[in-house]
Structure 1
Amino acid sequence: MAKLDGKVALITGGTSGIGIATAKLFVAEGAHVYVTGRRREKVEEAVRTLGTSSTGVQGDVANMADLDRLFKQIGEEKGKLDIVFANAGAAEFAPFGSVEEAHFDRMFDGNVKSLLFSAQKALPLMTAGGSIVLMSSVVGSKGLPANTVYAATKAAIRSFARTWTTDLKERGIRVNAVSPGPIDTEGLRELLGDTPEGRKRKDSFGQIVPLGRVGNPDEIARAVLFLASEDSSYVAGAELFVDGGMGQI
């Protein structure tokens, strides 16, 4: 029996990178997966890749009206949610001393506010014993340069896994965070620049990761599957580092 047979899952930011890798794995394990993304063409491409056990919904998770439309559709079509992987987010870097208000607002709106309301608006549909997996990052536990605001957003997300676990214990909904290290995704390549210099910077991450390399999206997807499935039935409020040892050594 597949690990997610009969389950309905939502993956925000599910059209590329870690999101699409996790969606593929969830579908392979028997779930029907809703994926969201801001770009319609990417949402349609994801559904073509995932097949009939998926539904794509175009929208911005930082927009409350888009979230309401998303959950209305899931409610009408499936009537429940078993799994939420709150994956959507963004990264920008600015050293302390040059942080601008617009940068702060983009990071907290895009990473914290949107994640909180994505999960909260899912609650009326969530089944007893469901699972919420939050996308945090190893940077929330490190003192890396130019990460003042971005790291703070990821630390806030890790805190949510603790507080929501206590808030939702009567419903048996487990909340955990997954914290990747540097992962070779389209988003990372765009952030660093897909140029010889950008690729050199990406490869340099291997020098600060004890395993000596950048990770790949499938490695994170397998960790998310663990937290979403009954394999982690006694795991709650935890932060699972999938970072090649970067946050541990």
Structure 2
Amino acid sequence: MKISGKKIVVTGAASGIGKELVNQLLKFDNSILAVDLNSHGLNQLKTSYGLLDNLCLDLSRKDDLDNLFVWIGDNWGSVDIFFANAGFAEYGPWENFGLDDLERMMKVNTLAPMLIAQWLQQHQQEPFRLVVTASAMSYWPVPGYAGYAASKAALHQFAETIRSEGGVDWLTTVYPGSTDTAFFNHAGINVPKALPIQSVASVVARIIDGVNSGKRRIYPSRIFRIVMLLNRILPIFKPIYFSIERRKLRAWKGK
């Protein structure tokens, strides 16, 4: 079964997972609102596909979030699937993160999806699904990503806690590992890529398959799931992985 004929919002749509979501979802007669801070990237999407709406918004700003909700109400009335995918990272030693960077990261990565969940629950009369991009770092930290991992772990715990309160059959959380996108370029200059790395097309295909199946949690990387399981039985994988990624961080700092 394919997601077809739906009204779909994708945030972080101008690049990476969001852009590929737009690419794959447009094949099945869906109406899509692409949301991103990058106006140039949104214009490229419009040029490439044409059959979509877009909004250039900064999701760290409450006024911009409100404008998104107003657009949905004025143009669609309701939304079928909302992919809260926008997010970004900063790479480096944890002690170097500034307050402004951390605050913005938490607003975009964590607070915006929480407010979107609230709005959907309070204003939607029709059934809907919210699909939130968390991260494998919600479970498995990577040296150099303290702020990002904290923002995604907070998002994961938000989802788990509201599920524990009951009546939340409309929420799906996604835990991608390292994906072959511009994510690492945006995180800093010459940032090393954490292992293992998946293609963005395969990640998005598994996300869409999981949403079609009504899954509450989607883990696009089978390798990640296997290593998580093996580490519970024989807890040597995390220390080895941390050692590899620590060396990358030290080498990056020395440049």
TM-score (norm 2): 0.79
> For 2:219, what is the secondary structure of its paired residue?
strand
Residue 43 of structure 1 is matched in structure 2 by 42
Indicate whether 1:104 and 2:93 are aligned.
no
> For 1:3, what is the secondary structure of its paired residue?
coil
Residue 216 of structure 1 is matched in structure 2 by 199
Q: Assess if the C-alpha contact under 8 Å between 1:140 and 1:151 holds in 2.
A: yes
Instruction: Look up the equivalent residue of 2:113 and give its one-letter code.
Output: L
Residue 152 of structure 1 is matched in structure 2 by 150
The 2-side partners of 1:125 and 1:78 are apart by: 13
The 2-side partners of 1:76 and 1:99 are apart by: 40
Q: Assess if the C-alpha contact under 8 Å between 1:139 and 1:154 holds in 2.
A: yes
Superposition CA RMSD, Å: 2.4
Deviation by residue 1:71-103 (Cα, 9 ceiling, x = unmatched): 211211111101011100110134344444333
> For 1:242, what is the secondary structure of its paired residue?
coil
Q: Assess if the C-alpha contact under 8 Å between 1:3 and 1:30 holds in 2.
A: no
Identity level (%): 23
Residue 61 of structure 1 is matched in structure 2 by 59
Residue 142 of structure 1 is matched in structure 2 by 140
Q: Assess if the C-alpha contact under 8 Å between 1:181 and 1:215 holds in 2.
A: yes
Q: Assess if the C-alpha contact under 8 Å between 2:203 and 2:221 holds in 1.
A: no
Residue 34 of structure 1 is matched in structure 2 by 33
Q: Assess if the C-alpha contact under 8 Å between 2:17 and 2:200 holds in 1.
A: yes
TM-score (norm 1): 0.80
Deviation by residue 1:117-144 (Cα, 9 ceiling, x = unmatched): 2332344554544211111111121132
Match for residue 72 of structure 2 among 71, 74, 86 = 74
Following superposition of structure 1 onto structure 2, how do residues 176-187 of structure 1 map, counting pairs within 5 Å?
176-187=172-183
Indicate whether 1:163 and 2:141 are aligned.
no
Q: Which runs of 5+ in 1 are unaligned?
A: none
The 1-side partners of 2:223 and 2:126 are apart by: 34
How many pairs were matched up?
A: 227
Structure 1 window deviating more from structure 2 (138-147 vs 57-66): it is 138-147
> For 1:245, what is the secondary structure of its paired residue?
helix
Residue 242 of structure 1 is matched in structure 2 by 220
Q: Assess if the C-alpha contact under 8 Å between 2:91 and 2:187 holds in 1.
A: no
The 2-side partners of 1:192 and 1:102 are apart by: 16
Say if 1:40 and 1:148 are closer, same or farther in 2 by CA, change over 3 A: closer
Say if 1:68 and 1:168 are closer, same or farther in 2 by CA, change over 3 A: farther
The 1-side partners of 2:153 and 2:62 are apart by: 23
Per-residue deviation, 1:241: 1.8
Indicate whether 1:116 and 2:114 are aligned.
yes
Q: Which runs of 5+ in 2 are unaligned?
A: 228-255
Residue 185 of structure 2 is matched in structure 1 by 189
Indicate whether 1:132 and 2:130 are aligned.
yes
> For 1:180, what is the secondary structure of its paired residue?
coil
Per-residue deviation, 1:228: 3.1
